[in-house]
Structure 1
Amino acid sequence: MLKQQLRGISSLLTSITLIGICVGMTSTLLSLRATIEEFGTLVTGVIMSAYFIGFLFGTTRAPKDIRRVGYIRAFGGLAALAAFTILIQAIWVDPIVWFVMRFLTGFAISAIFVIVESWLNTMADNKNRGTLLSVYLVLIYGGLVAGQLVLGVTDPAGFVAFAIVALLINVALIPILISVTVEPTTHDTKSVPIKTLIKLVPLGVANAFIMQACYAMFYGIGPVYAITLGLSVPEISLFMAAFILGGMISQAPIGLLSDRLDRRLMIAICAGSGALMALILSQLSSDQISWIYLFVGLLGAAILPLYSLGMAHTNDYLEKDQMVGATSSIIKIGGVGSIIGAPAVAALMQFGETSYFFYLLTLLTLMVCGYSLYRIGQRKRAEGQTHSAFAMVSPGQTSDELLTTLAEDLGDPDEDTDDQTAMTSGAILKHGDNG
């Protein structure tokens, strides 16, 4: 059954893998090119943050358009928009133009991910949803790694690297445009305002905000840090690839462990390990390149699973019909963290020292570790915690929530809702049912 489903979505998975390669190439490429063009670290950070602003808008606005025109047509149009923005950045090298184009790239890519994940939801059932998503995540991470390696054999100062990205985006259209698949259906779900989520699961909210800020810092400014360290373009590509590869390898084992242990303890262990790796990296120089690759890979292995761990922890304390609404709120919270992350570390590096890059990562991950340990002492472990850290919501629900703008108001939380009420009244789903 699973093999048949994988064959049925092979074209979809092929397309998203190619998109992953493009995403992996683009972030590092623009950071390197901005440094070559002497935009300045702070300006580069602001430009890179535009992607996350666009990503946030894409998950709140673009889905409405997707419902009007259909998934396949929307995928084609969004991919064309993404390819257009990349080529414009190659032709017109200007900070303001790049900021606008980077915004549009984030808008297009986020909506593409909405389409793909909705599609996967319709093809999966409760027995294999976790497995299908793990395949999806591995392909995404694999694409990101491949993107770094492809960039390593190109010249970021030229046109070819940009052309390759645009070409791959257009090639990604072919498999999905010639496939035949049932489009997602819609279902009613319950919204979960951010205020309510903060009261119900404060650790999930804090983790989403801080970790997405960390990811934006690394993807957006990591290449700039590597340049100032004195690494060559191939070495920078391996530096970024090692980080992503570490996360790809550790995602499933950590997710499985979190089903058996207190998920908050796993968050604390991963965050604490990440802080240690970041601190070690802050002390390494370019003549210790092998050690840099090792510890940046361990850093990725420790912190890349943290977002999904936090999402799983959040869903441990929610009712079934709250999970999709909570996912939309977490997307917003994480999006704000992403927007802040890159400019914040860029400003520290420009007006302080290069080593502040990993010092800030150390501080932020230590905050997550400490708060996780604090929450363990404040609240009992969720009863019946059985769902995986990388499982998805049930078919149709992701589609419906994301396709209705993900824009609930910051309403007042229910009165008299406390940690114990959330713990005992929330329905805990089986493996594969959470978002």
Structure 2
Amino acid sequence: MLKQQLRAISSLLTSITLIGICTGMTSTLLSLRATIENFGTLTTGIIMSAYFIGFLFGTSRAPKDIRRVGYIRAFGGLAALAAASILIQAIWVDPIVWFVMRFLTGFAISAIFVIVESWLNTMADNKNRGTLLSVYLVLIYGGLVAGQLILGITDPAGFVAFALVALLINFALIPILISVTVEPTTHESRKVPIRSLLQLVPLGMVNAFIMQACYAMFYGIGPMYATYIGLSVAQVSYFMAAFILGGMLAQAPIGLLSDRIDRRIMMAGCAGTAAIMAFILSQLDASGAWLIYVCVTLFGACALPLYSLGMAHTNDYLEKDQMVGATGAIIKVGGIGSIIGAPAVAALMQFGAVNYFFLLIMVMTSFVCAYSLYRITKRPKADDQSHSAYAMLGPTQTSDELLTTLADEQAHMIEEEEAEAESQQPNANA
């Protein structure tokens, strides 16, 4: 079943891999170029936050585009917008222009992610959703690693690196537009308000908010932090590549394991280990470059899979027609976290608190770990999520809201049966 699904979306996965290469190059490229242009740490943080403000708007627009023109056409138009915004940043190096263009890039890329992730979720079920999302994210992370390495052999002060990003985005259009791609039937999806998701799956929302803030901090300010502690430009690219490589290597095993045991246990374990690695990294400098690479690889292996774990956990409790709207809501919550994350850590670094970069990430991942463990005590696992025999959990206490819902449903069924019996009684008398 999984192999058939992967074959059906092979062109989509090829395209999103190329988008991953471009995303990996762009964030580090702009951070390094901003340093060369002396924009300042706080200004750079604000520019990077524009990307996530665009993310926020893109999540609202993508479901409308899917319903109006379908998955493939929406993907093509948004990719073209992303390529144009990258080229304009190369032509016009100005903080205000970059802020606007980063907004447009974030708008386009977030909408593409909503399209792809909702597309994947509609083709998955609770037994293989973690695996399918992990394959998708492994390909993205592979692209991100390749993007960092490609950037390492280009000059961030020149035009070629920007042009290469735009070229690859255009190449990403080819597989999905010229192949016979199996596209899900578009239908009117149910809107899923953020408030409803907070009540239904609070851990998924908290995880999205905190982890996207961590990702924004690392991708947006991480290259500058690495420069401050004494790493060279080439070492900065290795630093970023090691983080993404760790996530890529760990994504599939963690995804497979999460389909067999409670996803919340996996989330707690990954977040707790990520917090430990963040603390160790906060104590290192350029004199231990190889130790930094090892630790940041382990940090990425634990931190990056948390997004797909939270997404899979959330969709375990949703119906098919809720997934497009829910995906947009999840990315919107994450976008809010991203907008706050990058400028916050940039402001700390601007005033000399460089070591707070990883210490703040440590606090945030520790909270995800603690909250995941707390939610295990408040709600049973999703009914359809498969578990292996050795990972069976003991019974957990159901919430009052769940008991009330079950009681209401039972009462409703009894009322329907009584009404049906009354409707048949006149016929029997006749």
Shared fold (TM-score, shorter chain, > 0.5): yes
How far did 1:348 drift?
A: 1.1
Q: Give TM-score scaled by structure 1 length.
A: 0.82
Alpha-carbon distance change, 129 to 81 in structure 1, aligned in 2, over 3 angstroms:
same
CA–CA separation in structure 2 for the residues paired with 1:354 and 1:188: 48
CA–CA separation in structure 2 for the residues paired with 1:219 and 1:19: 16
What is the aligned partner in structure 1 of residue 401 from structure 2?
A: 418
Cα-to-partner distance string for 1:343-371 (whole Å, 9 max, x where unaligned): 11111111241111101101111111222
Whether 1:384 aligns to 2:367 is: no
Q: 5 Å matches for 1:34-433? A: 34-117=34-117, 120=120, 131-318=131-318, 322-377=322-377, 379-382=378-381, 384=383, 386=385, 418=401
CA–CA separation in structure 2 for the residues paired with 1:310 and 1:128: 15
CA–CA separation in structure 2 for the residues paired with 1:69 and 1:382: 37
Cα-to-partner distance string for 1:223-278 (whole Å, 9 max, x where unaligned): 11111111112111111111111111112222333344333332222111111100
How far did 1:161 drift?
A: 0.9
CA–CA separation in structure 1 for the residues paired with 2:308 and 2:405: 20
Indicate if the aligned counterparts of 1:223 and 1:236 stay in contact, CA closer than 8 A.
Answer: yes
2:328 is paired with a residue of what secondary structure? helix
1:365 is paired with a residue of what secondary structure? helix
Q: Give TM-score scaled by structure 2 length.
A: 0.83
Tell me how many residue pairs correspond in the alignment: 398
Q: Could you say which structure has the larger radius of gyration? A: 2
Alpha-carbon distance change, 36 to 310 in structure 1, aligned in 2, over 3 angstroms:
same
Return the letter of the residue paired with 1:327: T
Cα-to-partner distance string for 1:193-234 (whole Å, 9 max, x where unaligned): 222332333322221111111111111111111111111121
> Does 242-251 or 201-210 show the bigger shift?
201-210
Cα-to-partner distance string for 1:39-73 (whole Å, 9 max, x where unaligned): 11111111111111112211212443454445444
Cα-to-partner distance string for 1:256-304 (whole Å, 9 max, x where unaligned): 3334433333222211111110000000010101110000011111111
Alpha-carbon distance change, 425 to 57 in structure 1, aligned in 2, over 3 angstroms:
farther
Gaps of 5+ in 2: 388-398, 410-430
Return the letter of the residue paired with 2:278: A
Alpha-carbon distance change, 44 to 325 in structure 1, aligned in 2, over 3 angstroms:
same
2:284 is paired with a residue of what secondary structure? coil
2:109 is paired with a residue of what secondary structure? helix
How far did 1:38 drift?
A: 1.2
What is the aligned partner in structure 2 of residue 429 from structure 1?
A: none
Alpha-carbon distance change, 356 to 348 in structure 1, aligned in 2, over 3 angstroms:
same
CA–CA separation in structure 1 for the residues paired with 2:321 and 2:109: 27
Alpha-carbon distance change, 136 to 425 in structure 1, aligned in 2, over 3 angstroms:
farther
Indicate if the aligned counterparts of 1:245 and 1:300 stay in contact, CA closer than 8 A.
Answer: yes
Alpha-carbon distance change, 336 to 269 in structure 1, aligned in 2, over 3 angstroms:
same
Alpha-carbon distance change, 256 to 133 in structure 1, aligned in 2, over 3 angstroms:
closer
2:179 is paired with a residue of what secondary structure? coil
Of Structure 1 and Structure 2, the greater helix share is in: 2
Indicate if the aligned counterparts of 1:312 and 1:387 stay in contact, CA closer than 8 A.
Answer: no
CA–CA separation in structure 1 for the residues paired with 2:10 and 2:385: 29
What is the aligned partner in structure 2 of residue 402 from structure 1?
A: none
Return the letter of the residue paired with 1:372: S
CA–CA separation in structure 2 for the residues paired with 1:135 and 1:244: 14
Task: Indicate the percent of aligned positions where both proteins have the same amino acid.
Answer: 78
Alpha-carbon distance change, 254 to 9 in structure 1, aligned in 2, over 3 angstroms:
closer
